[in-house]
């Protein structure tokens, strides 16, 4: 099956200078995909011309009259930017002209527009943002929510667990991934009432719930999926990015302090390159807006062409592995106790 991805070319810090070359490379690397470049017509065609490319059977341009600003209020964007590149890209998914949408634009606006246009799946109260963090098992830990929902009910946290488990089942081909609930301790008595009630619901959900996990368990790989509210999740994500950047900078400083250390750096170059690649946040770019009746992927706003390409590949993977259908089916077959609580 050929997959069509709608690309919001105007989103992010760099706009078409990043999104257009990333889309072209995506098309070169994947034979079974098509792209619709949505945005200001002149800006997109200028980037295509600069790279000797033009629209064709697998690539078309969908003009948009407006752009959602990175600092624009989500409510304002939803109300007044109906002809923006972001809104039109989401509309293409809604109308069945694209299988997925990828944008590096304003996160709040993307979530608001996606929820308004696509609606949520049956049994899902709110969409959640899910992405991966590297762990010690040379693998990934999927974490959600990463910022869409600052305050969550126990039922919503349980729903996040279902969505995260189905995402891992689809992409990693693990039928019963381990789901953990982020808490300040592993004991059942730890945490606030919301977290305690969420743990009860997750135990009754039929998922492979392994109980409470702590922050360091994310990087140990204790669970395949870690559930938390958006306030906590976003803080974890930003702290993780900061620590990775600090470690890379610290290694560079230590290896350049004197000639002897520079020589040691040369000898260690293969290890250092492998370490840098493993900690490169660009490799993990592309957060899923789970719980919608369609696939929407949020790229980091500062993403370069390589990172944006990772988000495009994530969109393709989710379409090919029927993530939306898996979540729908799992919510319909929840354990009766969990289903009644979510109703």
Please tell me if the domain spanning 1-118 has the same topology as the one spanning 122-287+323-343.
Answer: yes
The class of domain 122-287+323-343 in CATH terms is alpha beta
Looking at residue 336, its pLDDT comes to 52
> CA 250 to CA 247: how far, in whole Å?
5
Other C-beta atoms closer than 10 Å to the C-beta of 17 total 17
State pLDDT tens for residues 114-125. 999 999 999 999
pTM of structure:
0.91
> CA 88 to CA 80: how far, in whole Å?
13
> CA 329 to CA 290: how far, in whole Å?
14
- Tell me the pairing of strands 178-182 and 140-144: unpaired
Per domain, the residue ranges of the chain are: 1-118, 122-287+323-343
CA dihedral of 89, 118, 310, 157, whole degrees rounded to 10: 150
Third-level CATH fold of 1-118:
Isopropylmalate Dehydrogenase (3.40.718)
Angle ∠(79,117,312) on CA atoms, nearest 5: 110
State pLDDT tens for residues 132-173. 998 988 888 999 999 999 999 999 999 999 999 999 999 999
Confirm if 228 and 168 have CB atoms less than 8 A apart. no
First CA to last CA across the chain, in angstroms?
A: 35
Which ranges of 188-304 would DSSP assign to H, the alpha helix? 193-203, 215-220, 230-255, 259-267, 269-279
Q: Which of 17, 13, 11 is nearest to 39 (CA)?
A: 11
Q: Is 244 helix (H, G, I), strand (E, B) or coil?
A: helix
As a residue count, the chain comes to 343
**Average pLDDT of each block of 10 consecutive residues along the chain (343 residues)?**
95 95 96 96 96 94 96 95 97 98 96 97 95 89 94 96 96 94 93 95 95 95 96 92 85 87 84 75 88 97 94 96 95 65 53
Confirm if 32 and 2 have CB atoms less than 8 A apart. yes
> CA 120 to CA 46: how far, in whole Å?
37
Looking at residue 341, its pLDDT comes to 54
């Amino acid at each position: 099956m050929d997959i069509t991805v709608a690309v919001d070319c105007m989103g992010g810090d760099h706009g078409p200078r990043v999104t257009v070359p990333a889309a072209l490379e995506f098309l070169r690397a994947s034979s079974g995909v098509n792209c619709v470049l949505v945005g200001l017509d002149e800006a997109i065609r200028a980037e295509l011309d600069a790279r000797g490319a033009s629209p064709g059977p697998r690539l078309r341009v969908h003009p948009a009259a407006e752009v959602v600003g990175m600092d624009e209020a989500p409510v304002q964007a939803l109300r007044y930017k109906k002809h923006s590149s972001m809104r039109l890209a989401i509309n293409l998914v809604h109308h069945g002209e694209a299988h997925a949408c990828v944008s590096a634009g304003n996160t709040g606006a993307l979530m608001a527009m996606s929820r308004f246009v696509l609606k949520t799946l049956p049994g899902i109260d709110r969409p959640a943002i899910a992405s991966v963090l590297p762990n010690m098992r040379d693998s990934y830990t999927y974490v959600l929510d990463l910022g869409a929902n600052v305050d969550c009910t126990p039922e919503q946290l349980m729903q996040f667990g279902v969505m995260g488990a189905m995402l891992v089942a689809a992409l990693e081909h693990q039928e019963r991934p381990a789901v953990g609930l982020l808490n300040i301790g592993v004991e059942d008595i730890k945490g606030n009432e919301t977290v305690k009630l969420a743990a009860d619901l997750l135990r009754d959900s039929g998922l492979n719930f392994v109980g409470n996990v702590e922050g360091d368990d994310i990087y140990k790989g204790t669970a395949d999926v870690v559930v938390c509210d958006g306030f906590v999740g976003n803080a974890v994500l930003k702290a993780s990015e900061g620590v990775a950047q600090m470690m890379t900078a610290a290694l560079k400083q230590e290896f350049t302090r004197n000639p002897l250390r520079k020589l040691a750096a040369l000898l260690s170059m293969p290890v250092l390159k492998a370490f840098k690649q493993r900690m490169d946040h660009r490799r993990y770019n592309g957060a899923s807006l789970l719980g919608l009746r369609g696939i929407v992927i949020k790229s980091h706003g500062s993403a370069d062409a390589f990172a944006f390409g990772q988000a495009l590949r994530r969109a393709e993977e989710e379409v090919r592995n029927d993530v939306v259908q898996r979540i729908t089916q799992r919510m319909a077959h929840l354990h009766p106790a969990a289903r009644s609580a979510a109703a």
